[in-house]
A and B are shown apart, each in its own frame.
Chain A
Amino acid sequence: MLRNTPIKRKLTVIILLISTAVLLITCAAFFAYDLFTFRQSMVAHLSTLAEMTASTSTAALAFDNPKDAQETLSALKAEQHIVAACLYDKDGKFFAAYPANSPTNNFPTAPEPAGLRFEGSYLVAFQPAMQSGGLQGTLYLKSDMGALYERIRLYSLIVLLVMLGSFIVAYLLSSLLQSQISQPLLQLAETAKAVSERQDYSVRAAKLGRDEFGLLTDAFNNMLEQIHNRDLALQEAQQKLRQHADDLEKRVAERTARLSETIAELEAFSYSISHDMRAPLRAMQGYSDYVMENYGEKIGPEGQQYLQRINRAGMRLDTLIQDILSYSRAARAQMDLHPVDLEKLLDDIIQQYPGFQPPQVEITIEKPLGSVIAHEASLTQVISNLLGNAIKFVQPGQTPRIKIRAEPRGDDLRLWFEDNGIGIASKDLNRIFAIFERVHAERTYEGTGIGLSIVRKAIERMGGQVGVESELGKGSKFWIQIKKS
């Protein structure tokens, strides 16, 4: 009920409630006690009145003087709470009434045993009228409880006034005194609010005394101090860190820029070198062919053999240069990615190169393969290289067999090329994709050592991956993985 009221109000309300409760209980106790004693005194009073009146009435009863009795009874007028009274003679017959001339059926028909008792809201008394030990008659008195009710009314009024007065006093006192408790709390709360709202840890709560609130304030201020210090240290550290990170980033960016510059220079260099090298090579090949045709007979068989050697070396060099150019293209060319239908692409590749057709090779395609997001020209190069490798590296005399299948992997598609070739030793698996790396001697299997490098470079530039699973003598399973379309 009070949970959400401010502490000031809470304290006041609590104090008021307690004081009111205490006062109520006290008043009720006094009230009850007084009413009880007042009732007792009412009884005592009526008893005395009855004795006096009865005693005064004895002569009237004894000498049969109802008029005198009447007069005696009429003195009861002074007692405003006596509503009725009557006398019976010693034979129990009705003798006199008060107020005079009241009908006799207002009274009990015969006297009852002496004593007082409460009858409804009346107090009733029967008192024997005795003279010198002899019974002369009986007095009946009936008193209303007006005095009691008056008393209750008066007391209620007093209680009400006292309650009102003490309520006001309690309210004033509690309003004055509650600040002893609420003030330090409110100040703490204010400080805490300021701290949390403005993140200002330099604020301090004022200490108002050396009580528990004082201790609390001290502890709070201590905490603030610590937080303040840590906050400062943290900010400093953060700033340093940020500076450091900025430096690092700058340095990385610088180096990266330098590196890519170098790489670009290198690639441009190798491209132009390769490109420029082809012209003299053509010239050499062309002239050696010319010599062979026009002067072949003059130089004799030995000369012809040497010329052939020159020619073959030139062709090898040309292949090498072409591969390097392919690699450079794969590394430098703009890679615009589009959806590519793999089945169609494979069909085209196989159609274009007679070397990929039976009887040179058996290629099995597990359809459907689906399509990928790729640079078509580069992907053609990649697949050609992989197929070329599979055909090249087989045991002499064996017909190469290649199985091509697709495997979905999340958003990607992995394309497998499984051959029945000579396989790769596990120690060589790591280096076959590096440029100029060759596993076999040049004499056994021709090659420049660039093909797989082109594969990897091209696939990586398309955002994909390449890999191989193989065992020496048991064929190889190459795979490329790029995004599905």
Chain B
Amino acid sequence: MAVLGNILNPSKEASNRRFTHRLRACLAGFIFLLLAINAPAQISREYQLKAVFLYNFAQFTEWPPDAFADPQAPLVIGVLGRDPFGAYLDEAVRGEKINGRPLIVQRYSGIQDVQNTHILFISDSESKHLLPILASLQGRSILTVSDMEDFVPRGGMVRFLTTNNKIQLKINVNAVKAARLSISSKILRSAEIFPPAAK
């Protein structure tokens, strides 16, 4: 039985992250008192799952042919800013191949480092520079993913949304289309679509 993405301390709002951090710390301390060593594992469990999701995006997304130098060129998953995944992302992609392509994880400190990337996770640490980052990625076939709350309305493509201890996806289909990417309808079916369809 798959263990759902149980997160004891979900960070709902990016804006009051401080409070959240405090709350998380308090809770962590509380849980630490109760469960001693369980709390850090629970927190990282969220990103363990998200790391797998990042890898899964590679499977459900199609890039235009010019996104790769050649048919054997690796598919690059990049992390911009502070890396929340630790070793989980490397573990998730280790040894995996998608349509014959090996997977590579790259970490960038600034947008200028992002070169030949296919999936880019923009860490919360970059929230202040989000607009310039998104603007510089304009026209490039890079699937952008983030935890940030206003990521999608601002022009980001996929946002991880945690509700009821479950990670959901919110997807900006226009941005995806503009980047000449195609996300499998199987994902779209269960994701929250932006902009919402007119009723």
> Interface size class for chain A?
20 to 34
Contact residues in B for A94 (Cβ distance below 8 Å): 1
Are A68 and B49 in contact (CB-based, < 8 A)?
no
Verify if A56 is at the interface (C-beta below 8 Å from B): yes
With A64-B5, A89-B2 already in contact, the answer to whether A133 and B99 are too (CB < 8 A) is: yes
Proximity bits, B74-110, A CB within 8 Å = 1, else 0:
0000000000000000000000111110000000000
- CA–CA, A56 to B2, complex, Å? 19
Of the stretches B15-23, B138-146, B183-191, the one at the interface is: B183-191
A68 touches B2 (CB 8 A): no
Which of B32-40, B52-60, B118-126 lies on the face that meets chain A? B52-60
Give bound CA distance, A66 to B60, whole Å: 18
Q: Does A65 contact B (CB under 8 A)?
A: yes
Cβ A60 vs Cβ B2 within 8 A = no
Interface pair B1/A62, CB less than 8 Å apart:
no
Contact partner of A62 (CB less than 8 A), chosen from B5, B60, B96, B99, is: B60
Query: How many interface contacts (CB-CB < 8 Å) are there between A and B?
Result: 60
**CB-based contact A134/B96 at 8 Å:** yes
Main secondary structure, interface of B, reads: mixed
Residues of A within 8 A of B1 (CB): 93-95
In the complex, chain A residues whose CB is within 8 Å of the CB of B98? 132-134
A131: Cβ under 8 A from any B Cβ: yes
What B residues does A56 contact at CB under 8 A? 186
The answer to whether B60 and A131 have CB atoms under 8 Å apart is yes
Contact mask for chain A residues 51-63; partner B; CB cutoff 8 A; 1 contact, 0 none: 0000010111011
Q: A64-B49, A133-B97 are in contact. Are A59 and B186 (CB under 8 A)?
A: yes
Residues of A within 8 Å of B186, CB to CB, are 56, 58-60
Give complex CA distance A153, B121 in Å.
Answer: 60
Cβ of B169 < 8 Å from any Cβ of A? yes
| Nearest CB of B to A402, in Å | 150
- Chain A, residue nearest B187 (CB): A59
- Number of interface residues, chain B, beta carbon within 8 A: 23
Residues of the B chain whose Cβ atoms lie less than 8 Å from the Cβ of A89: 2
Find residues 139-197 in chain B having any chain A CB closer than 8 Å to their own CB: 166-167, 169, 184, 186-187, 189-190
A62: chain B residues at CB < 8 Å are 53, 56, 59-60
Q: A104's closest neighbor in chain B, by CB? A: B1
A134 to B99, CA, bound (A): 9
Which of A56, A62, A136 has the most CB atoms of chain B within a 10 A radius of its CB? A62
Inter-chain contact B99/A132, CB cutoff 8 Å: yes
B residues less than 8 Å from A65 (CB atoms): 166, 190
Report how far A63 CA is from B50 CA in the complex, Å: 9
List the B side residues contacting A133 at CB < 8 Å. 97-100
A73 to B2, CA, bound (A): 17
B4: CB under 8 A from chain A? Answer: yes
Q: Are A59 and B2 in contact (CB under 8 A)?
A: no
Contact residues of A between 126 and 147, Cβ < 8 Å to B: 131-134, 136
Q: Residues of A contacting B184 with CB < 8 Å?
A: 59, 131
**Could you tell me if B190 and A59 are in contact, using CB atoms closer than 8 angstroms?**
yes
Q: Which residues of A contact B49 (CB under 8 A)?
A: 64
Q: How far is the CB of A194 from chain B (nearest CB, A)?
A: 94
Q: Other than A62-B60, A65-B190, A67-B190, give 10 A-B pairs with Cβ distance below 8 A.
A: A59-B189, A62-B56, A63-B187, A68-B190, A91-B2, A93-B2, A95-B1, A95-B2, A131-B184, A136-B59
Can you pick out 29 interface pairs between chain A and chain B where the beta carbons lie within 8 Å of each other?
A: A58-B60, A59-B184, A59-B186, A59-B187, A59-B189, A60-B186, A62-B53, A62-B59, A63-B167, A63-B169, A63-B187, A63-B190, A64-B4, A64-B53, A64-B166, A64-B167, A65-B166, A65-B190, A68-B189, A89-B2, A94-B1, A95-B1, A95-B2, A131-B59, A132-B99, A133-B98, A133-B99, A133-B100, A136-B59
Q: Sorted from nearest, which 5 A-B pairs have the closest CB atoms?
A: A59-B186, A68-B190, A62-B56, A132-B59, A131-B59
